[in-house]
Amino acid sequence: MNENCAIEVHNLTTTYGGAPVLWDVDFDLPAGKIIGVIGPNGSGKTTLLKTIMGLLEPSSGYVKIFNQDLSKMREKIAYVPQRESVDWDFPASVFDVVMMGRYRKGNLFKRTNNTDIEIVEECIEKVGLTEFRNRQIAQLSGGQQQRVFIARALAQKADIYLMDEPFVGVDAATENSILSLLEEMRNTGKTVLIIHHDLQTVSDYFDYLVLLNTRLIAKGTPQDVLTEENLSNAYGGQLTLLAKVANLIKENQFPIREKDVDL
């Protein structure tokens, strides 16, 4: 395996209710990159993230993190869930939620120390929420809530960050600030793996792509992955827009985001 590989997924099959959601998926992902996982609804994107994290047990195959078994590397991985999967009525402040990133298996009841507090304050500042540090999370906007969970992941001081649709339901300013933060993380050697649904932004956002539809359709740079053939194999019938996207990619005229396009 390549020494620069952060995540190795080998012959992975994961089933749900007896049916394969991922089928014989095999790839290596480079370290120090922002990587997008794309594909149609129901293609296995979230299942892939949950299997990488060890939340789902594969039927066959395995995942390795920096060439080690997942069981030895859990503390190297941080997760940012989909915003709608979180109970935002839970009574916790921004500071409380970000501090959760400092807890580890086996030390859930340890007292926080000055180092923990400094790291939490730094992470809250990085996502631009210092003035909201004592606010209840239920009182925040959708974009602010998303940034709280990114700050919690940052507080874990992990090497790999797995994010499930972090750009959904946020305004353009928040999207840009999240993207800047991700680029800063990459530039310090972190690996960021993101489930993403908007094909028209992938060339601007990601260094590397994984295109799924139960099976692996393609992996590589956006230019290598976003061909008309690959998109057709993944998305099937939605060919008019997909052909347009593929042609623009080919011409290096990367499209700006259009609202209400969900592929």
**pTM for the full predicted model:** 0.86
Q: How far is CA 73 from CA 77, 78, 104, 147, 158, in A?
A: 7, 11, 12, 25, 10
Sketch out the chain's domains with CATH numbers.
Answer: 5-87+159-250 (3.40.50.300)
Q: What is the pLDDT of residues 169-200, one digit of tens each?
A: 888 888 888 999 999 999 999 999 999 988 88
- Over the chain, what is the mean pLDDT? 87
Distance between CA 188 and CA 143 in Å, rounded? 24
Identify whether the C-beta of residue 88 lies closer than 8 Å to the C-beta of residue 138.
yes
Share of the chain above pLDDT 90, in %: 63
Q: How far is CA 112 from CA 102, 152, 198, 246, in A?
A: 8, 15, 40, 51
The pLDDT of residue 86: 77
